[in-house]
Amino acid sequence: MKLEDQIATSATSPSGSQTLAETPAKEPAGPAPRVERRSVDRRTGRKLPASVLTPPTPPPPPHLDDYRGIVGQGQVDTLRYLARELKGKTIKMVNSTAVGGGVAEMLNRLVPLLSELEVPTHWDVITGGNDFFEITKAFHNALHGTSYELTKAAQDIFLMYNEQNRERMQFGEEMVVIHDPQPAGLIRSRGKTPASWVWRCHIDLSNPDPKVWEFLRPFVEQYDAAIFSSQSFARQLPIPQYLFYPCIDPLSEKNKELPDSQVQQICDELGIDRSRPIVTQVSRFDRLKDPVGVVQAYKLAKKYVDCQLVLAGGGASDDPEGAVVLQEVKDAADNDPDIVILDLPPWCALQINAIQRASTIIVQKSLKEGFGLTVTEALWKGKPTIAGAVGGIPNQIIHKLTGVLVHSVEGCAFQIRYLLTHPEFARNIGVSGREHVKENFLMTTNVKRWLLLFRILEEAKARRGKT
């Protein structure tokens, strides 16, 4: 089978691809995230544990052979085979933040695995001022369908920072992958490089604001290929498009197996009562994640069933709205003693893991979503999951089989009540959800897709050189 046929087959099956990357010996460039955290939880008055306030020493990234017990020796051998003709060829990944959000998490795992396969992969992060990230956040929301008045000043700021990043970056690799709209303007360096350039879009482009998309589209059309997370996100473009479902790393701090004693310890430290049903949403404090809607759904469900709500998340260094949304959530909670709001730093992957494993139900009530890796994480842990029927989430949740999909606050409240009163059904969809992730959305699948695409682009470059 030709490589094109292999990746086409892969791209039309529910098999995920998206990860994190960072060269072990090198931290990504860019400003350190501004993280401000109070040491006292507003709800309980308890001092937060040092494990939350102090960044832990990062564990060494897992090696490829460590995945054999999960995916089998055959999958590992396939990756080594695909990488043979790419050994020594280099990749550069560029995105807008080193911490916070699914893209950074995925890159933290993708880069070491590709490098272990002797395909050296480097990760760089663009820099910018608050004005740049405020505009690109507005772009992000507009591409998700929110109305936005695109001004000449906003366009100039976007172009200015992209030019500054172009001047400080080098692009000598064989493949350059630009993630999302923020650094899309770096494509202007393409003519000076030998690289194949790929635009990896992680957001929902099914109904973008026309003016913002028309501004960005000329940049996208200059790339050699574009990658989307769902079939519905694809646009009419003159370049090849590929479908890569994002993936999680089952061996990461956020997804690895934990002993129950450790789960209990972390819950005790964070003030979470495991003796009663726990409904949890893990996400950035972002309006498109609808944390206020989750509070409203919980309050409706609480009229009929006993439960408590945990909202655990934080911010990203490229998202200036997080603090405002967090305050909106606190106002909606209105000092309810059964609502635990945790504004966690980005290094709390282990705590997130424990919270998810302690949860009875996990919710991801997004209004817009590129894919929703928090859904993937919940399914991997075998948890009955309720999620908004938006973006790439329906690729993960098959309604009433691997989870349940909702369209409203009232629908979310009903499903919380139903799952808490039908534990056998909840258990069954949790089991099915985990199997769905194992078959389709793990990191090794993502590495395979990148290797296949890299080989396709290298072969196309070789053909062009012969003509």
Shared-domain flag, residues 316 and 219: no
Q: What is the distance between the alpha carbons of residues 338 and 328, in angstroms, rounded to a whole number?
A: 17
Shared-domain flag, residues 229 and 356: no
Which residues, including other chains, have CB under 8 Å from residue 50's CB and lie 6 or more apart? Answer: none
Whole-model pTM over 0.75: yes
| Residue 202 in domain | yes
Shared-domain flag, residues 82 and 115: yes
SS3 384: coil
Shared-domain flag, residues 429 and 453: no
Averaged confidence pLDDT in the chain: 88
Q: What is the distance between the alpha carbons of residues 125 and 96, in angstroms, rounded to a whole number?
A: 5
Label residue 318 by pLDDT band (50, 70, 90).
low
| Residue 41 in domain | no
Is 50 exceeded by the pLDDT of residue 6? no
| Residue 49 in domain | no
pLDDT of residue 433: 98
- The structural domain count of the chain equals 2
pLDDT per residue as tens digits for the range 247-296:
999 999 999 999 999 999 999 999 999 999 999 999 999 999 999 999 99
Shared-domain flag, residues 434 and 448: no
Q: CATH code at 217?
A: 3.40.50.2000
| Residue 42 in domain | no
Label residue 8 by pLDDT band (50, 70, 90).
very low
SS3 161: helix
DSSP 106-152: HHHHHHHHHHHTT--EEEEE----HHHHHHHHHHHHHHTT------H
Is 90 exceeded by the pLDDT of residue 226? yes
Per-residue pLDDT, averaged over 110-130, amounts to 96
pLDDT over 70, % of the chain: 88
Shared-domain flag, residues 434 and 449: no
Q: How far from each other are the two terminal CA atoms of the chain, in whole angstroms?
A: 25
| Residue 387 in domain | yes
pLDDT per residue as tens digits for the range 383-416:
999 999 998 999 999 999 999 999 999 999 999 9
Least confident window among 135-144, 165-174, 308-317 = 308-317
Give me 11's structure tokens. Answer: 């791209």
Is 80 exceeded by the pLDDT of residue 31? no
Is 90 exceeded by the pLDDT of residue 462? no
| Residue 67 in domain | no
Q: Which strand ranges, in their side-by-side order, compose the sheet holding 175-179?
A: 121-125, 91-95, 175-179, 196-200, 225-228, 241-243
| Residue 47 in domain | no
pLDDT of residue 125: 96
pLDDT per residue as tens digits for the range 44-96:
334 567 778 888 888 888 999 999 999 999 999 999 999 999 999 999 999 99
Whether the CB-CB separation of 461 and 453 falls below 8 Å is answered with no
Domain containing 153: what range?
Answer: 3-35+73-247+443-466
pLDDT per residue as tens digits for the range 321-337:
888 999 999 999 999 99
Shared-domain flag, residues 239 and 364: no
CB atoms within 10 A of CB 338: 18
CB atoms within 10 A of CB 69: 10
In this structure, which long-range contacts are made by residues 33-36, counting pairs with CB atoms below 8 Å and at least 24 apart in sequence?
33/97, 33/98, 33/99, 33/100, 33/316, 33/317, 33/346, 34/317, 35/314, 35/315, 35/345, 35/346
Q: How many H helices and E strands in the chain?
A: 16, 12
Q: Which amino acid is at 186?
A: L
Whether the CB-CB separation of 281 and 378 falls below 8 Å is answered with no
Whether the CB-CB separation of 196 and 457 falls below 8 Å is answered with yes
Shared-domain flag, residues 228 and 267: no
Shared-domain flag, residues 328 and 431: yes
Per-residue pLDDT, averaged over 183-212, amounts to 93
Is 50 exceeded by the pLDDT of residue 182? yes
CB atoms within 10 A of CB 35: 17
DSSP 230-281: SGGG----SS-EEE-B--B-TTSTTTS---HHHHHHHHHHHT--TTS-EEEE
Is 50 exceeded by the pLDDT of residue 33? no
Is 90 exceeded by the pLDDT of residue 43? no
Shared-domain flag, residues 145 and 134: yes
pLDDT per residue as tens digits for the range 91-114:
999 999 988 778 998 999 999 999
Give me 217's structure tokens. Answer: 């589209």
Q: Which amino acid is at 251?
A: L
SS3 399: strand
pLDDT of residue 466: 63
Q: What is the distance between the alpha carbons of residues 65 and 303, in angstroms, rounded to a whole number?
A: 50
| Residue 91 in domain | yes
Shared-domain flag, residues 18 and 82: yes
Shared-domain flag, residues 280 and 222: no
Label residue 316 by pLDDT band (50, 70, 90).
low
pLDDT of residue 51: 73
Whether the CB-CB separation of 103 and 179 falls below 8 Å is answered with yes
User: CA neighbours within 13 Å on the CB side: how many for 336?
Assistant: 20
